[in-house]
């Protein structure tokens, strides 16, 4: 397993709203990719920390996400196959996370 991919996304939503949006975002992820590429997604909240595992393109991916008052930090453990594209994956996740957490 390679070094975890870490993504930090600042926000000004407050803890409760940021967590609500993340939960909603995971729900949309399951709906959008449930039949193609994302075979399984399991998640578990402990306080404001979310642990998750998924099957993505036949590869096991796990991660942790911590929601804080002004920042969301995500760490992904990628298998070697997906670690090859880690930099482009990080950019996409950063962009999608910022869109999800921007004040509307």
pLDDT along the chain (104 residues), means of 10: 86 95 82 61 93 84 95 93 84 90 85
Tokens of 23: 């939960």
Q: What pLDDT sits at residue 39? A: 66
Q: Which of 2, 14, 3, 9 is nearest to 65 (CA)?
A: 9
Fill in the DSSP letter of residue 3: P
Contact status, residue 100 vs residue 92, Cβ threshold 8 Å: no
Burial class (CB in 10 A: 0-12, 13-18, 19+), 54: buried
What pLDDT is attached to residue 36?
54
**pLDDT at site 28:** 76
Can you give the pLDDT at residue 1? 52
- Domains present along the chain, CATH in parentheses: 5-99 (3.30.530)
Global model pTM greater than 0.75: yes
């Amino acid at each position: 397993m390679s070094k975890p991919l870490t993504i930090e996304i600042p926000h000004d939503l407050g803890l409760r709203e940021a967590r609500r949006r993340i939960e909603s975002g995971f729900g949309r992820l399951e709906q959008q990719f449930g039949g193609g590429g994302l075979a399984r997604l399991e998640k578990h909240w402990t306080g404001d920390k979310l642990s998750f595992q998924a099957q993505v393109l036949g590869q096991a991916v796990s991660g942790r996400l911590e929601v804080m008052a002004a920042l969301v930090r995500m760490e992904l453990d990628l298998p070697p196959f997906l670690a090859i594209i880690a930099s482009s994956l990080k950019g996409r996740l950063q962009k999608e996370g910022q869109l999800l957490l921007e004040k509307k």
